[in-house]
Structure 1
Amino acid sequence: MKFNSYKPNLFCLFLLLSSFCTYSQEISDQEDSEITKHISSYFSLDRENIHIQFPKKIFFTNEKIFFKGFVYNIKTGIPSVMTTNIYATLYNEQGEKVTEKLFYSSNGSFTSDFDLNNSFSTGKYYIHFFTNWMKNFKEDESSINSIQIINKDDKSYSKEIIPDFSSVSIKFNPEGGTLLENQKNIVGIKISDCNGNPFQISEGDLIDDKNIVLQKIHLNNFGFGKFEFVPNKKIYKVRFLINGTSYEEMLPIASAEGFALDANSFSVKDKTLLKIRTNLKTIEKYRNNSLKIVINQFDKIALLDLNFINDQEEQTILFENENISDGINTIRIIDSNLNVLAERMIFKHQKEKLEVDLQATKKASDSISFSGNLNLKYSDISISILPEESLSIDNENDIYGSFLLNSFLLEKSKNSRYYFNEITTKKKYELDLLLLNQSKFKYDWKDIITSAPKETFEFDNGLTLKGTVNQKISDPKKAQIIVTSPTSANFGNIDEKNEFFFNNLILTDSTKVNITFINERSKSVEFKDYPQVLNSRRTFNKSIRFKNSLCEIQKQKVEIDFPQFKLKTIMLDSVKIVGATKPTLNYETRFGNSRLRGFKIAENEGSAMLLQFIRMNGFTTENENTSLRILSDRNFGTFRTGKSSPAIYMDDIPVAILDVLQQITMREVDEIYLDTNMRSSAFPDNIGVIKIYMKKGARNSSYKNNITTYPIPKGFSAIKPFKNVSYNSTSDLGFKNFGLINWIPNIIANENGHFAFQIPNMNQKKVKILIEGFSADGKLISEIKTIELE
């Protein structure tokens, strides 16, 4: 956006007939402007939004709710990498909490699932996603997503009655906010039921106080329309025939002063057209008042002086769209007392976006291969494959609507996919109707000038573990705490309160961490502690509104075919063939062990010492100042000399003090795994790995006695691979209605934009493929493609 470098000749490009371009002076110095300071302050912090793609919108209780989440910085227009912790809560139709989870986001995206079971009743459910950072703002930047769950044992399906003819709402929205007397006005109109669903009516009448029809009013399929007229002090109303009943609604009384702000960004190619209308009474009122036209999207701002030379009541301004941001921009007229006199939102479509070329390349009896190309490399996308006739595909919401449209609106659009799929001039006009008919703005001007948000809540990056050493320490600065898990090792200090904190821990549900206290004399000391994770669950600080609580959703039962699922099969025990076999390694399948050399220690091998065995297998041991060191024979690298210490574990616990190994005999060891060249993920700077597993009932070492084990009860939800349910048939109507062919949540296009994937061959002639995602620089994609497979 080029607002900060605007000059009058960039902004005021054309003079139109009967219009004045009044910006002959230099644009006000934005750095010294009171308006600019307020806007810049209010939008100084980044804003995160979340879009969720589900493989489908209707789930059965024997399935999992899989999904892919995209976290976006809507202020900068790129993926948000500042937050890793995504908090989510599943609610039922009554708004009651069912379960909550924590998800891990990396590079702006995350994948996971919610488990279902037969205790879920059929109905609509809501999943609320938020980050801790979102709590800094008055506005609700969180994401609420609705899905339908059907209990697989139900025999009927209840469908929402849309629209509800028992309630009719007719709302007017004069463009700019004021219906101005004796001036040409554009008035937006929205007609819907109490849940915001439109009626299928195409036109109605504008009627004056003598019941004379002045003009026809046309509505689109979403219940939006607009009409143009010049009101006076008369009473005006509109009349519509809805489902055989006539409905009337009075217009607001026209105001004697004010501004009508007519704006659109689509009628002239690549330009925005502003028409500002007022009257002499208003001009006289503001003759000595410095009026500004303010255009902004967050802290990207343009300011222009608004003057009425020769008392001209209408002015027209045309400017290039390259000077405003992609997505929604807000235009306001502001007086010298910082009062907003008119305001309007406009939309600018992206010129460049992600596009995909996708085709089936190979068909086998059990699978079908696809090849795809994106116009930008390293894009992160997810793909859902459904039967062509699917009733479960999400035809309403998409990633464009989430990040470019609904993130700016209080009244969310239920049809965002329509506006961004195969964009035409008609769709641009209809999107402008949606913005015209926003009765309230999400980013309210009064808030902008009075209550800038403060950075009270931080970006969450991993878990924070807090604990207390409950014994006296003569010199806490010399003591140390070691927290280890199967995948990480963390070393920290103890403060003057005997407390310790470990931040940025990435731990999944039920992971056990081991805490070792090293006292000021460098000895492992037993201690008891009950640490706590401070941020595994957080409460959102705003009320969550799932639906209009004053208007119940009407439903009716309908007959519809459901998929036929296969019953769970019972696997018989395999037949064991008795013969000479090598000793079974019980720990071979533990994390990372399959890549190491494993040894089962027999009873007759127990006379040697553990360190002797370690030396015999490629490591050396040294005693330095009476402390044991174990070294790998492998050098650090070409430019360094010397040997590296291996990562050493005992029963999957990283060993911090090696002295405890000196008295262990092989009699006490059950299995041992080692490699002189391998690197451990917990100790990336170490070369070599030694993993020791002790026999049950073996002598406990002082090392193990001095470790506190603490399970993480509410860590990050583990990422599970997608596994589809089994269907009795993939050719019946139930599967075509609600079945899922495949879900591939994590696809990264390579440096050439290429990607490939496979789906199971379920004998479909055509499939629908939903593709969503973003590139590293923030370009978005959302496409539904129908692909022929025969």
Structure 2
Amino acid sequence: MFKTFALLAYFILFHATCFAQKPNDSQIEGRYVKYFELEPETIYTQTNKSKYFANETLWFKSYIYNTKTQLPYLSTTNVYAAIYDVDGRMIDKKLLYAIDGITNGEFKLSEYAPGTYFLKVFTNYMRNFSESYHSLQEIEILGDDFAQQENESLENEYDFQLLPEGGHLLNDVNNTIGFKILNANGEGAIIESGKVLDSKGQVITTFKSNELGMGKFSLMLKNNDTHFVEALLEDGTKINTEIPKAQPRGIAVKINNLNATNLFISIQTNKSTLPELLDKTYSLAIHRDGLMKKIDLNFQDGKYDYLINVPKQDLLSGINIITVFNDENKPLVERVIFNSSKTPIENVELVNTYPNSDSTKIRLRTKLKDTIQKNISISVLPSSTKAYTASENIISKFLLSPYIEGNIENADYYFSNNDRQTTYDLDLLLLTQGWSKYSWNKIFSSPPKELFHFESGMQVKGKVSDKDKNTEIIFLHKESNTMLNSGISEDGYFGFENLLLLDSTKIYFSLKNKKENLSKANVYVNIYPAYQKDSINTHGLKSKKPINILDNNAFYENFILENTTSLDTVMLEVSKKRQSKNQIIYGGFNTKKIELENIYDDVTLVTDIISANGFDVYNSPRGIEIAARRGVGYSFSGKPASPNIYIDNQLMGEAQMIILMNLMVKDVDEIFISRTPSPGTVGVAGGLGGNINIYTKKSFSGKYLEKQSSFSSKIVEFGYSLPEKYQSPFYNASQQESFSKYGVLNWIPNLSNDENGEFEFKIPNYRYEDILLFIEGMGSDGSLISKTITINID
């Protein structure tokens, strides 16, 4: 007998011991968990807008999420961003470095012809999955040469679909039938009135659609009954279709998800089916992303309707997939619901605006306090903009799209308000979507295999052609302050992992023998990941609507001038002015900055400056040795105490001290010397003699190392692209109307809140009154923020 359940069965996690109840249960649950063992990254990308002119820049921010845990995907580092043309051919590609589940970047569009393009952001690990987890946005580059696309569809062509709840109709039960109607462009059309007729033309029930062309009605069906649907659309078009015949045997499901605290699940069957169900145990599973709760279904003689009451606090957060299995583990009916009573969705609200003569400061507030660090992005556009046409937001991307097949029209609408109407419309969407995007055939027979590894940083692998008596190879990359040693195998192979190598920079190699002497390395090197071209399938992605790009082409001439302006927009906290250009990370205790300007010549050796500040400097066959004249003790070997030497915050080992040999003042930006050991550094790598921090000029590394006979080099042809600081186009002030449609006020990719949950930024004043803030964000606790705020600035 079915009862009102106060608590569903436990979550099924990744432990085989959880599946020892009985063979059938274990078979379903074990395969389900196995299918989701590999946890994919899901990416959402916000762009600063969707329509650009060719001399603008596309700015974007990407968020990486684990939909199972509903937390940022913290282990992701390597993220790819690529631009494709309308035929799916790759035009440009970048490698981005993600930290704490976020990254951002840009593409300059000056070389792009007017037309439709796609921005795809993805990872290598996603290639293991048949489902799509990347982000893909359509963008348009406007211009005089952008030919309007022809509308190949008929003006009044509509697709009207009848979609039974659970997947099929059943005789002798009160079926719920969802419907949706799409126009030639794939958009929902409004049904003003509709009715269901029997074979005699009698009206059985009436209906109408919501604004997105969806709705539902209930209908009791008898064996061999014929029913028709008539619908009148807003434009006067009439739709007539026959309702499919119901199945004579089976089970049906009806869901009531409008109650605030409970989910009601009705399992129905009929007289023809019930005798076959007696003494058989069916099961109802509520699941998502490898997490599952189960209830046994035991049918009783003479009972055709079974009501299950599930407290929503016992459901999974967000999407829940409800599937009924028969005694042979075959899925019979399925329904997707959204649990809005328990989600990671958080709100953001406007605190105040502070207008000034040239700019306006805006302050916003969340309830997240200090959980968000640089995890909010905001695009600021005029309120009459035509340039921002994003079809989804971070909430719909992470909480809805991974489970639904196909495109979702106005996906952001379903999370714009948490009221009864949007809850009802979201449930209609899920009803009409039918079963989830995950195929049970794949779940039971072909779980994902890890054929593509999870990339973490970059790798350098190579072979030394002249190993001889050399035992180690030294790797140097100045831009990331990286100097590493690696052993060399008997066959001459070596490797370095988890590197942060910037695009178009150089890496250097030197060999070290047992006597710790250095010599130039003759090496063959491969750098991973390497640049690879790919393509995307744009079938079904190309816009079918005729696009009137420029209402008056001449009106937009000289809209954007050649100059750009850099906006210092983020004003989160007042930072103290530092005397130093560089930040000392190690050995900064009781430090003294050495004044170089007007005191030392450009050709003065840095070792002479160190010697003049309390240290003895010795030349040795291995390079340079430095000892304190007045240290706090002696090393374990009995020699005078040595200081820790840091060059660009990279601790120098004995073999690396060769860099100091010919280092001159002209190569150096700043020098800091402390003759006092820093707490925690004594005994780590010398340090009893104090600490010396040297910061070199950007031009030093390449010039110096190229001259050294002990270093060979290789260019990183495809490395990480560092995000540039936002540059605002220099708009023509006389073109106010064009600016209101396609201009950008600001793009702020990395905002952080203070201890009160507030954050603020500035926007320039362009003689407008209303502006739009398109806000997206993700907290370290998995909280998701998406909101559009209109602000009046008078």
TM-score computed with the length of structure 1 as normaliser: 0.83
Match of 1:215 among 184, 205, 212: 205
Aligned length: 737
Q: Give unpaired runs (5+ residues) of structure 2.
A: 10-18, 566-579, 585-592
Alpha-carbon contact 1:333-1:342 (below 8 Å) kept: yes
Does 1:759 find its partner at 2:755? no
Can you list the C-alpha shifts for 1:39-58, whole angstroms capped at 9, x where unaligned?
22222232311111122221
Amino acid at match of 1:408: Y
Alpha-carbon contact 1:465-1:532 (below 8 Å) kept: yes
**What is the CA–CA distance in structure 1 between the aligned matches of 2:743 and 2:657, rounded to whole Å?**
60
Does 1:314 find its partner at 2:305? yes
Match of 1:676 among 660, 669, 672: 672
Q: In structure 1, what is the equivalent of residue 292 of structure 2?
A: 301
SS at match of 1:419: helix
Amino acid at match of 2:655: I
Amino acid at match of 1:402: K
Can you list the C-alpha shifts for 1:546-567, whole angstroms capped at 9, x where unaligned?
4427995544566266485353
Match of 1:514 among 508, 511, 534: 508
SS at match of 1:482: strand
Q: In structure 1, what is the equivalent of residue 102 of structure 2?
A: 109
**What is the CA–CA distance in structure 1 between the aligned matches of 2:126 and 2:704, rounded to whole Å?**
49
Alpha-carbon contact 2:164-2:177 (below 8 Å) kept: yes
Q: In structure 2, what is the equivalent of residue 54 of structure 1?
A: 47
**What is the CA–CA distance in structure 2 between the aligned matches of 1:383 and 1:70, rounded to whole Å?**
13
Q: In structure 2, what is the equivalent of residue 710 of structure 1?
A: 714
Alpha-carbon contact 1:52-1:69 (below 8 Å) kept: yes
Q: In structure 2, what is the equivalent of residue 400 of structure 1?
A: 395
The percent of aligned pairs where both chains have the same amino acid is 28
Alpha-carbon contact 1:333-1:340 (below 8 Å) kept: yes
| Greater mean deviation of Cα atoms: 65-74 or 499-508 | 499-508
Q: In structure 2, what is the equivalent of residue 255 of structure 1?
A: 247
Q: CA deviation at 1:382?
A: 1.2
Alpha-carbon contact 1:563-1:733 (below 8 Å) kept: no
Q: CA deviation at 1:673?
A: 4.9
SS at match of 2:723: coil
Structure 1 residues 108 and 187, CA, compared in 2 at 3 Å: closer, same or farther?
same
Alpha-carbon contact 1:470-1:498 (below 8 Å) kept: yes
Match of 2:790 among 763, 786, 789: 786
Q: In structure 2, what is the equivalent of residue 504 of structure 1?
A: 498
Amino acid at match of 1:274: I
Q: CA deviation at 1:521?
A: 4.1
SS at match of 1:433: helix
Match of 2:229 among 211, 219, 238: 238
Structure 1 residues 113 and 648, CA, compared in 2 at 3 Å: closer, same or farther?
closer
Does 1:10 find its partner at 2:3? no
Alpha-carbon contact 2:274-2:301 (below 8 Å) kept: no
Q: In structure 2, what is the equivalent of residue 128 of structure 1?
A: 120
Does 1:616 find its partner at 2:620? no
Matches within 5 A, 1:375-386: 375-378=367-370, 379=372, 380-386=375-381
Q: In structure 2, what is the equivalent of residue 646 of structure 1?
A: 645
Q: CA deviation at 1:277?
A: 1.1
Q: CA deviation at 1:140?
A: 1.6
Alpha-carbon contact 1:85-1:105 (below 8 Å) kept: yes
Q: In structure 2, what is the equivalent of residue 442 of structure 1?
A: 437
TM-score computed with the length of structure 2 as normaliser: 0.83
**What is the CA–CA distance in structure 2 between the aligned matches of 1:106 and 1:323, rounded to whole Å?**
33
SS at match of 2:45: strand
Can you list the C-alpha shifts for 1:633-664, whole angstroms capped at 9, x where unaligned?
89799xx9944231358xx9989736757975
Amino acid at match of 1:230: M
Structure 1 residues 521 and 554, CA, compared in 2 at 3 Å: closer, same or farther?
same
Structure 1 residues 484 and 662, CA, compared in 2 at 3 Å: closer, same or farther?
closer
Can you list the C-alpha shifts for 1:88-141, whole angstroms capped at 9, x where unaligned?
221122222211111111111111111101x42333221111112222222222
Structure 1 residues 301 and 660, CA, compared in 2 at 3 Å: closer, same or farther?
closer
Matches within 5 A, 1:626-665: 628-631=624-627, 642-648=641-647, 657=655, 660=658
Q: CA deviation at 1:164?
A: 5.9
Amino acid at match of 1:358: L
SS at match of 1:309: coil
Does 1:75 find its partner at 2:74? no
Q: In structure 1, what is the equivalent of residue 280 of structure 2?
A: 289
**What is the CA–CA distance in structure 2 between the aligned matches of 1:655 and 1:704, rounded to whole Å?**
18
**Cα RMSD after superposing both structures:** 4.1
Q: Give unpaired runs (5+ residues) of structure 1.
A: 1-5, 13-26, 572-587
**What is the CA–CA distance in structure 2 between the aligned matches of 1:70 and 1:489, rounded to whole Å?**
31
**What is the CA–CA distance in structure 2 between the aligned matches of 1:731 and 1:345, rounded to whole Å?**
49
Does 1:388 find its partner at 2:386? no
Q: CA deviation at 1:731?
A: 6.9
Q: In structure 1, what is the equivalent of residue 562 of structure 2?
A: 568
Structure 1 residues 239 and 497, CA, compared in 2 at 3 Å: closer, same or farther?
farther
Q: CA deviation at 1:385?
A: 1.4
Q: CA deviation at 1:432?
A: 0.8
SS at match of 1:465: strand
Match of 2:316 among 310, 322, 325: 325
Amino acid at match of 1:357: E
Alpha-carbon contact 2:623-2:658 (below 8 Å) kept: no
Can you list the C-alpha shifts for 1:424-456, whole angstroms capped at 9, x where unaligned?
211111111111111452111222222222333
Can you list the C-alpha shifts for 1:574-630, whole angstroms capped at 9, x where unaligned?
xxxxxxxxxxxxxx99999xx874469999x97x87744541245432468976312
Matches within 5 A, 1:176-575: 176-193=166-183, 195-210=185-200, 212-231=202-221, 232-241=223-232, 243-266=235-258, 268-351=259-342, 353-378=345-370, 379=372, 380-394=375-389, 396-473=391-468, 478-486=471-479, 487-537=481-531, 544-548=536-540, 552-555=544-547, 559=551, 562=556, 564-568=558-562
**What is the CA–CA distance in structure 2 between the aligned matches of 1:299 and 1:710, rounded to whole Å?**
45
Structure 1 residues 694 and 263, CA, compared in 2 at 3 Å: closer, same or farther?
closer
Can you list the C-alpha shifts for 1:323-348, whole angstroms capped at 9, x where unaligned?
11221110011122210011100001
Structure 1 residues 631 and 111, CA, compared in 2 at 3 Å: closer, same or farther?
farther
